Structure 1
Amino acid sequence: MYSPQWIDLDGVVNMRDLGGLPTESGEVVRHRRLLRSDNLQDLSPEAIETLVTRFGVSDVVDLRTHVELAKEGDGPLRAVVQIRHHHHTLYREDSTESGIPAAERALPWETDERHEAAAARQLAGADAAHRRSHEEYWSEHYLSYLATRPDSVVAALDAIASSEGAAIVHCAAGKDRTGTVVGLALKVVGVPDELVIADYAASAERVPAIMARLRSSTAYAANLKDKTVTQQSPTTDTMRLLLRTLDERHGGALGWLGTQGWTRADTDRLRRKLLGDRG
């Protein structure tokens, strides 16, 4: 039975500790080793103190794009000298070299959404059975992270494995990009599919609060204007489909990682980090 270990701090609405999840071999993910969250821009000084002293946060793995960083600016954790920051965008077209300042560009997924809308219009008269479901759309979207930015996915996992204390993985909402990277990390150390799926879907509980928070930011407000809670909510079938596709195409998460240079030594490092007696 999965029960989310929510961390309710001022400035975030979707932060939780992955500690307590059992593996198929009977081990347990340790508390205060891997946290996941929505973006950290609004953390209060008291919340920062809690993360540093109570949770022992040493590393932040930021999956947001260059565009988001430019639009939102440095978050308050950047001022904490003992915390290492790792930025790994999951969008191929998100580059610092486009010639257009990042703060003036559209969010990378807005282009994807325009293409999706055009495809939907073309299919308007087609049989409904040929249209992608909500789950298929999102699982394919997550697979695109692996296809277009495998370097960032592997680097994010390496940052978790190499962290001295607790690592926080986050994006904007803390459900899609974060859910993909965290799901892979949990699979590498042997957490069963059903618990990986349950953790992924737990963010649905916080989607109304996530959307309210992001709509207060100029970086995301326009993009979220016409989106609904249902459209933005993760479902168990989305992650189940993603894991099934990895199994069928690559022999699982470790099989895919192996094609990207991930080694047994890397797996052992991540296992020691998340399961061992010491971080």
Structure 2
Amino acid sequence: MTSPHTDRWIRLDGTTNLRDLGGLPTADGGRTATGRILRSDNLQTLSDADVRRLVGELGLRQVVDLRTTAEILLEGRGPLRGVPEVTHRHFTLLPERGHHTDVFAVEEEDPQLELGAGWTESLLPRQVAAHDEGEPPAVRSYLGYLGQRSENVVGALRALTRAPGGASVVHCAAGKDRTGVVCALALAVAGVPHEEIVADYALTAEIIDALVAKLAASPTYADDMVTRDVASHTPRAETMDRLLVLLDERFDGPVGWLDAHGFGADEQAALRARLRS
């Protein structure tokens, strides 16, 4: 296995877990293209210099946000929201209360909209299939994204596929769980082997201390950061490995899951071209 190169990291003042999905080997001997799709933690604390680099140097034109409506409202508008060249798309991967399908449109209609309760109080109970109850908690969570929010997983991939040009960044709060699942599916479509997808997912462990410290500084995430130790937040290779094994067993792989959920051959080819050409 070829480990993901450390030069895939993009070092900014306001992010901890930002890296390029380019440079990963594919099963046919190629490499994924750089500058097309980035993965990141929360973008709320970007500096002015970060914004200039992302939009100017790296050509960022789309943000795909996987956080819940409550998280976005509690965190407030990040610096990229004021950049006209950048489009924002929202696809929550957690079951939540309310009926807002586009939190950014809601904000435009009511700029003073506030959320009083903590964001976890806005979530609905996660449903776990009986045959998944014995899986580790993180694996159950990931299966929950795919089972309860399949339309938004596919929506996020469609947004990445149909991006008008430039780079897209997909992110959640930490950039490891929700972002990890969406990126794993995208890399599978691009032909990146199982073990390389696992290695990319686990790469976040290298910066987990700094990532937990960053999130602990936000009132939105502080409680969750301090009530669990760093080890419990650290992504483990076996988690993504297990998810991919289950998708192999149940759907003949991630691509089979996408086929079964309406992201068919034509869209897969378009996403593959975006990540490969």
Q: In which range does the TM-score fall when normalised by the shorter chain? A: 0.7 to 0.9
**1:25-64 pair list within 5 angstroms:** 25-64=28-67
CA distance in 2, matches of 1:260, 1:147: 10
| Cross-structure match for 1:202 | 203
CA distance in 2, matches of 1:256, 1:212: 35
Cα separation, partners in 2 of 1:262 and 1:53, compared to 1, 3 Å: same
Aligned length: 257
Q: CA deviation at 1:54?
A: 1.6
Secondary structure of 1:103 counterpart? coil
Is the CA contact 1:66–1:96 (under 8 Å) kept in the aligned structure 2?
Answer: no
CA distance in 1, matches of 2:23, 2:261: 29
| Cross-structure match for 1:106 | 118
Secondary structure of 2:115 counterpart? helix
Is the CA contact 2:97–2:124 (under 8 Å) kept in the aligned structure 1?
Answer: no
Residue 153 (str. 1) matches residue 165 (str. 2): no
| Cross-structure match for 1:121 | none
Is the CA contact 1:33–1:274 (under 8 Å) kept in the aligned structure 2?
Answer: yes
Cα separation, partners in 2 of 1:132 and 1:24, compared to 1, 3 Å: same
Q: CA deviation at 1:263?
A: 1.3
| Cross-structure match for 1:125 | none
**1:164-179 pair list within 5 angstroms:** 164-179=165-180
Q: CA deviation at 1:115?
A: 10
Secondary structure of 1:168 counterpart? strand
Q: CA deviation at 1:193?
A: 0.6
**1:85-234 pair list within 5 angstroms:** 85-96=88-99, 103-108=115-120, 136-163=136-163, 164-234=165-235
Letter in 2 for 1:79: G
Percent identical residues:
43
In structure 2, runs of 5+ residues without a counterpart are 101-112
Letter in 1 for 2:27: E
| Cross-structure match for 2:9 | 6
CA distance in 1, matches of 2:221, 2:242: 28
Cα separation, partners in 2 of 1:257 and 1:151, compared to 1, 3 Å: same
CA distance in 2, matches of 1:184, 1:25: 17
Secondary structure of 2:64 counterpart? strand
CA distance in 1, matches of 2:38, 2:98: 27
Is the CA contact 1:154–1:260 (under 8 Å) kept in the aligned structure 2?
Answer: yes
Q: CA deviation at 1:222?
A: 1.7
Structure 1: 4+ residue segments shifted above 4 A = 109-116
Secondary structure of 2:38 counterpart? strand
Secondary structure of 2:158 counterpart? helix
Is the CA contact 1:37–1:168 (under 8 Å) kept in the aligned structure 2?
Answer: yes
* 1:15 aligned to which of 18, 21, 38: 18
Give the alignment's Cα RMSD to 1 decimal: 2.1
TM-score by length of 2: 0.87
Cα separation, partners in 2 of 1:215 and 1:262, compared to 1, 3 Å: same
Is the CA contact 1:67–1:102 (under 8 Å) kept in the aligned structure 2?
Answer: no
CA distance in 1, matches of 2:196, 2:98: 35
Q: CA deviation at 1:40?
A: 0.2
| Cross-structure match for 1:120 | none
Cα separation, partners in 2 of 1:112 and 1:211, compared to 1, 3 Å: farther
Q: CA deviation at 1:171?
A: 0.3
